[in-house]
């Protein structure tokens, strides 16, 4: 495939951003190209984030993060990548480091409209766009969400939605991705990948990506915002529900017991809610609501038939 055809195939718009206050770094991207999340974004906690696109040179992702980890400023990283790549004029990249310094580069042979904007803590870039208004809308939406104290992942999604509303990729939509890293953000606290969601082929990929984040990721991995003490009527209700579902095998006592706690933890593990387990005598309000729904559905769970969770 020629360089020009590859550039057409990989046209997209993206945002890279860092929140030094929380240590979070993220990348969000949309394209009229399948599985864009496998090509464009990369990020490392404490280091930075990168989006490589147009005639994407995927080696730029690792090389950029390596140079950022050495302490080079994003502008200098871009300069080195471009200087070493004879096809840089067909490429586009956005960078941000953990301090919030940002840079963006657009090769002169990228398909119109192609440009970028580097702001305070973020960079937006795109090619084959309806116009620069796409990028201006993304920057504006990101800054407004940041100034309202919105979490980083939601700022990135807001920027994508605003870019699409302002025209987006002039070929249309197909795939989108959201990547957010933070120290200890991985499952069980291992690694740094907190959000890694991809919509590989969908007529409305940004809307679907937003649904996956809000309704799926946040349900299973979101932070606990409200707890309920496991005392009195609430404790008795939870124990009755756990017994009805087959998790609590002994009669409850007058107070919340280790057996009740273990039954609750088993239920949460069964329902893939283990990241919301608490050991302080309270229950996550979301878990309590979910337990009520499952118990109201009726049939006890046959745990002997369980597969891997």
CATH topology of domain 3-221: 3.60.20
d(CA 15, CA 180): 12
Closest CA to 94 of 75, 66, 80: 75
Q: How far is residue 6 from each of residues 55, 57, 61, 94, measured CA to CA in Å?
A: 6, 11, 18, 19
Cα atoms in the 13 Å half-sphere on the side-chain side of 33: 25
- 125-134 pLDDT tens trace: 999 999 999 9
Q: To the nearest whole number, what is the mean pLDDT of the chain?
A: 92
State whether residue 297 is helix, strand or coil: helix
- Residue pair 140/34 in contact (Cβ under 8 Å)? The answer is no
* pLDDT above 80 (res 88): yes
What are the residues whose beta carbons fall under 8 Å from the beta carbon of 161, sequence distance 6 or more? 141, 206, 210
Rounded average pLDDT over 164-168? 95
Cis peptide before 113 (omega within 30 of 0): yes
7-49 pLDDT per residue, tens: 344 569 999 999 999 999 999 999 999 999 999 999 999 999 9
pTM: 0.89
The answer to whether 54 and 114 have CB atoms below 8 angstroms apart is yes
Instruction: Determine contact, residues 31/140, Cβ cutoff 8 Å.
Output: no
Going through 5-133 in order, the beta strands assigned E by DSSP cover 12-19, 24-31, 41-44, 48-54, 91-97, 102-106, 115-119, 122-126
**What is the distance between the alpha carbons of residues 13 and 113, in angstroms, rounded to a whole number?**
11
- Which pLDDT belongs to residue 189? 87
Q: Quick one: average pLDDT of 142-155?
A: 98
Classified as helix, coil or strand, 197 is strand
Task: Report the Cα–Cα distance between both ends of the chain, in Å, rounded.
Answer: 43
Task: Give me the count of residues in the chain.
Answer: 309
Residues of the chain with CATH 3.60.20.10: 3-221
What is the predicted pLDDT for the residue at 307?
Answer: 37
Q: Identify the residue with better confidence: 265 or 299.
A: 265
With a cut of 70, say whether residue 136 has pLDDT above it: yes
DSSP 3-state of 86: coil
The pLDDT score that the predictor gives to residue 252 is 85
Confidence (pLDDT) at 105: 98
DSSP string, 107-131: -TTSPSS-EEEEETTEEEEESSBS-
In sequence order, what are the beta bridge partners of 103? 95
pLDDT of residue 78: 98
Segment 174-220, tens digit of pLDDT: 999 999 999 999 988 899 999 999 999 999 999 999 999 999 999 99
Strand partners, 129: 169
> Residue 298 — very low, low, confident or very high, per pLDDT cuts 50/70/90?
confident
Closest-CA residue to 15 (of 101, 125, 106) = 125
């Amino acid at each position: 495939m020629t360089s020009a055809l590859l550039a057409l195939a990989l046209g997209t718009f993206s945002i890279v951003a860092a929140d030094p206050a929380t240590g979070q770094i993220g990348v969000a991207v949309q394209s009229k190209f399948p599985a864009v999340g496998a090509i464009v974004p990369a990020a490392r906690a404490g280091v930075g984030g990168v989006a490589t696109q147009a005639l994407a040179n995927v080696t730029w992702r690792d090389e950029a993060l390596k140079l950022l980890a050495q302490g080079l400023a994003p502008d200098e990283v871009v300069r080195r990548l471009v200087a070493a790549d004879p096809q840089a004029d067909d490429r586009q990249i956005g960078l941000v480091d953990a301090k919030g310094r940002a840079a963006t580069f657009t090769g002169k042979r990228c398909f119109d409209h192609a440009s970028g904007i580097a702001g305070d803590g973020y960079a937006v870039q795109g090619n084959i766009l309806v116009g620069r208004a796409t990028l201006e809308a993304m920057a504006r939406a990101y800054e407004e969400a940041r100034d309202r104290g919105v979490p980083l992942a939601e700022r990135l999604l807001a920027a994508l939605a605003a870019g699409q509303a302002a025209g987006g990729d002039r070929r249309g939509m197909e795939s989108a991705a959201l990547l957010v890293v933070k120290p200890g953000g991985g499952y069980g606290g291992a690694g740094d990948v907190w959000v890694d969601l991809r919509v590989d082929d969908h007529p409305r990929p940004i809307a679907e990506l937003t649904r996956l984040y809000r309704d799926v990721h946040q349900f299973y991995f979101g932070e606990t915002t409200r707890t309920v003490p496991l005392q009195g009527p609430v404790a008795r209700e939870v124990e009755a529900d756990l017994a009805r579902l087959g998790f609590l095998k002994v009669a409850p006592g007058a107070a919340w017991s280790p057996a009740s706690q273990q039954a609750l933890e088993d239920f949460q593990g069964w329902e893939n809610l283990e990241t919301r387990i608490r050991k302080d005598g309270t229950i996550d309000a979301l878990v309590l609501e979910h337990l009520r729904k499952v118990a109201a559905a009726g049939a006890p769970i046959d745990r002997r038939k369980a597969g891997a969770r």
